[in-house]
Amino acid sequence: MRLEIIIDRKKQVSPDIMAALEQELLKQLGRRFPDIQVRVAGGSNMALNITRASKEEKELLEELVQEVWENAESWMPESSVA
């Protein structure tokens, strides 16, 4: 299973934040999906791509990604928190 999050470069999200998000997703999602591969990168627009997963797994992954993002204070580097 593969999860890819592309963040629009115009949003000016630092590489440190993208790396921290990738690590937190690997940690959180890896518990439930040990075969998951996660990639967070900059791009020309925003995208969330999930491949090699069932419809139910995709829905669950979308919910879990949302939860991780909403709980950013627990994983975001301190220098990035406003």
Per-residue pLDDT of 28-62, as tens digits, reads 999 999 999 999 999 999 999 999 999 999 999 99
Res 81: pLDDT? 52
pTM for the full model? 0.88
> Rounded to 5 degrees, what are φ and ψ at 20?
-65, -40
Query: C-alpha dihedral over 82, 46, 20, 11, to 10 degrees?
Result: -30
